[in-house]
C-alpha cells in the first residue's frame, strides 16, 4: 500500500469510450440500493436520482452499479444539495473501486464547498485528503457541482466543475464497483437532508 498527493488546477481530457450514460429519469436496471433502516426510498426524475437522509440519526445510503466492475475509468455526476438545515453535517459523492461497502474509495462533497477522499479497508476509513475547501466547489442549497473521478492504475484524479482538485497515488484497490452515496445527518437535528444525482457518465478503456 502506498499513497501520495499532488495538487492540480487544470482539466485533463480522457479519450475513453462511454460505457454508461444515465439521467435517472426512471429507475434503471442493473443497480441496487442499500441504506440504513429509516432512509426513505429513492425518487427518480425529480429531476434525477433523489436521496433523502432522515433527521434524528446518522444515515448512509448507497446506489450501486452492480452490472460491471471497473479498473481504469472516468466517472462524472452532477450532485445537488436540494434541502438542508445548516450546518448540514451531510455529504454526497462517489464510491469507487468498491469491493463492498467496507472496502472502497469514497469522494464526498458537502454543502459548504468542501471535499474529502477516503480509503476504507475492513470498514475503517483513512482520509487520503481530509475535508478541504476549494473555490471550484459551489456552496449552498440548490447549487449543482459536477464531480468527476479519473482512475488510471494507482493514480486517482479528482475534479469539480472541470477544475482538477487533487491527484492522489494509492494502490490499495485496483478495480471494483461504482456507487453513488450520501451520508451524514445528526441525532440532534430532526431536519432531513436531500441530495440529487444527475447525468451520470462512466467511460473506460474496458468498454
Q: How confident is the model over 137-188, as pLDDT tens digits?
A: 999 999 999 999 999 999 999 999 999 999 999 999 999 999 999 998 767 7
How far apart, in whole angstroms, are the C-alpha atoms of residue 95 and residue 182? 10
pTM for this one?
Answer: 0.91
**pLDDT above 50 (res 62):** yes
Query: Which residue is associated with the grid cell 478541504?
Result: 132
5 preceded by cis ω (within 30°)? no
User: Locate cell 481530509: which residue?
Assistant: 130
Determine what percent of the chain is predicted with pLDDT higher than 70.
90
pLDDT band at 4 (very low <50, low <70, confident <90, very high): low
Q: What is the model's pLDDT at position 87?
A: 65
Q: What is the mean pLDDT of residues 64-71?
A: 96
Whether pLDDT at 1 is above 80: no
Integer angstrom CA distances of residue 145 from 4, 48, 102, 195, 201: 25, 14, 26, 11, 14
Ordered domains of the chain (ranges, CATH): 3-203 (2.60.120.560)
Distances 58 to 68, 178, 183 between C-alpha atoms, Å? 29, 22, 7
Amino acid at each position: 500500500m502506498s499513497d501520495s498527493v499532488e495538487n492540480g488546477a487544470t482539466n485533463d481530457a480522457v479519450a475513453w469510450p462511454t460505457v454508461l450514460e444515465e439521467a435517472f429519469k426512471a429507475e434503471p436496471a442493473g443497480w441496487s440500493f442499500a441504506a440504513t433502516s429509516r432512509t426513505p426510498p429513492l425518487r427518480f426524475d425529480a429531476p434525477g436520482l433523489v436521496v433523502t437522509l432522515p433527521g434524528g440519526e446518522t444515515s448512509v445510503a448507497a446506489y450501486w452499479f452492480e452490472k460491471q466492475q471497473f479498473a481504469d475509468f472516468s466517472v462524472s455526476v452532477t450532485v445537488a444539495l436540494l434541502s438542508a438545515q445548516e450546518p448540514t453535517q451531510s455529504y454526497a459523492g462517489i464510491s469507487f473501486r468498491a469491493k463492498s461497502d467496507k472496502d472502497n474509495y469514497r469522494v464526498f462533497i458537502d454543502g459548504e464547498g468542501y471535499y474529502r477522499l477516503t480509503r476504507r479497508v475492513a470498514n475503517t476509513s483513512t482520509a487520503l485528503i481530509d475535508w478541504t475547501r476549494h473555490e471550484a466547489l459551489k456552496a449552498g442549497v440548490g447549487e449543482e457541482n459536477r464531480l468527476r473521478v479519473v482512475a488510471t492504475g494507482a493514480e486517482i484524479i479528482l475534479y469539480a466543475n472541470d477544475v482538477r482538485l487533487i491527484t492522489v497515488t494509492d494502490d490499495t484497490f485496483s478495480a471494483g464497483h461504482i456507487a453513488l452515496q450520501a451520508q451524514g445527518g445528526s441525532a440532534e437535528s430532526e431536519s432531513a437532508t436531500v441530495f440529487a444525482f444527475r447525468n451520470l457518465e462512466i467511460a473506460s478503456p474496458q468498454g
